[in-house]
Amino acid sequence: MTITQYQRERVDDVRSWYTSIYQPLNGLVPESIRYMALWAVFNALYNIADYPKVTLKSVSSDVGVIKPYIRGRDDDKKLRLISRKLSQDPGFVASLIRDHIEFITHLSQRTPEVTQPPHTTTIQFEHEHQTYTLNLSDLHGIASIDNRVFLEDGKVLFQYHHLDLDLSTDNLPRDGRKFILQLFYMLYQLRNNIVHGGSAAYFMQKTTLSTGAIRLLDAIVWQLLDHPELLEQDGE
C-alpha cells in the first residue's frame, strides 16, 4: 500500500514541528519533558502510518446531531508495524547498536526500581488457577507505575518491559524484529510512566534513563523522517 500525498505532507509537518518546537527545548527544560516532546513527534509519525487503517466504527445521533465514531488501531499494533519496518534494515539496526550500545546494554541489565516489603526476594501469585513464583533477581527492564496488583501478603506484582540483548558475532541481534519491538516497548513504558504514572517530577531527576532514551528515540525518529516510505502499510 503506497504512502499517500497527504501522508507525505503530514510527515513534512512533523519535521517542521521537530525543528521549531522540540529542538529549541534542549538545555531549557528537564530531560523528561524533552523526552515527552520527542515522543509526541514519534507518536505523530506512527499515527500517520496508521491512516489507511482508520475506519468508521459507528454513527450515533444525539439530539439530532450526527456523531461519527472514527478510530484507528491501538498503539500496540501501530508500534508493531513501525518496529517491523525498521527491523528490515540491518544497516539501521547495526547503527542503533553501534551508536547506543552502552545505553542499550544498560536497558537489558537494568533492575526495575520498585518498592516491595523488606527482605522480599520472590513473589508468588495465581492466575487462572495456576500458581507462579517470580524471582525478583531475574527481573530486568522498566516496570509500569500504573499497571500493578497489590497482593494480600503486601507484595506488589508489576507489569514490566524488558530487552533480551542476544547479539551474534557480527554484533547484530539474532532476531532483529524482536529486538526493535522490545526497544519500542521499553521506550513506550517510560513514556507511560511519565504521563500516566504521575511520575514526571521523579523522572526529571533520572538523567541517565531519560537522556539515553532521547538519543535512542531521536535516531528512530530521524530514520522515519528521512525514509517516509517506512510508514507504508504492508498488509499484515
Q: How many Å apart are CA 206 and CA 204, to the nearest integer?
A: 6
Q: Give pLDDT, residue 134.
A: 93
Nearest residue to 211 (alpha-carbon basis) of 2, 33, 71, 13: 33
User: Is 85 domain-assigned?
Assistant: yes
The domain total for the chain is: 1
pTM over 0.85: yes
Q: In which domain, by residue range, is 53 found?
A: 5-231
pLDDT tens per residue across span 181-214: 999 999 999 998 888 765 555 554 556 788 899 9
User: Is 30 domain-assigned?
Assistant: yes
Core vs surface per residue 55-83: b (16+ CB within 10 A) or e: eeeeeeeeeeeeeeeeebeebeebbbbbb
User: Is 236 domain-assigned?
Assistant: no
Q: Which residues have a Cβ under 8 Å from the Cβ of 188 and sit 6 or more positions away?
A: 75, 79, 161
pLDDT tens per residue across span 155-182: 999 999 999 999 998 888 999 999 999 9
User: Is 31 domain-assigned?
Assistant: yes
